[in-house]
Amino acid sequence: MGPVPGRPGPHGLRPRPRGPARSRLPVSRRGGGGVRLTRLHLRNYRVYEDALDLEIPPGLVGIYGVNGAGKSALLESVLFALWGR
C-alpha cells in the first residue's frame, strides 16, 4: 500500500474530487417522472402508537417539534415506504 495520490480532503481521508459533484441518477429531458408524497398513514410505528393520518400539502414542508416528538421517525417511515430501508 502507500499514500493515496492527490491532495487530501477536508479530513485527510481521501483525495478531493477533481470536478463538481454530479448526480448518479438519470435526468429526464422532458420533465415529469417525479414523485410527490400527498398522504402518510402510520400505525404502531416507533413513537406513533396510535394511528396518524397526515395529508401533505404541495410545496415546501417543514417538520419541527421538541425532542422525542417523532420527527426522525416520520422521515424514516417515508424512506421505508419508498425504498424499504
pTM for the predicted model, two decimal places: 0.54
Q: Where are the domains of the chain?
A: 39-83
Q: Which residues on neighbouring strands pair with residue 54, listed in sequence order? A: 40
Q: Cβ atoms within 10 A of the Cβ of 40, count?
A: 14
- The per-residue pLDDT string of the chain (85 residues; one tens digit each, 9 = 90 and over) reads 555 556 665 666 666 667 776 666 665 555 566 788 899 999 988 888 899 999 999 988 999 999 999 999 999 998 988 888 6
Q: Using CA atoms, how far apart are residues 58 and 36, in angstroms rounded to an integer? A: 8
Contacts 24+ apart (CB under 8 A), 18-27: none
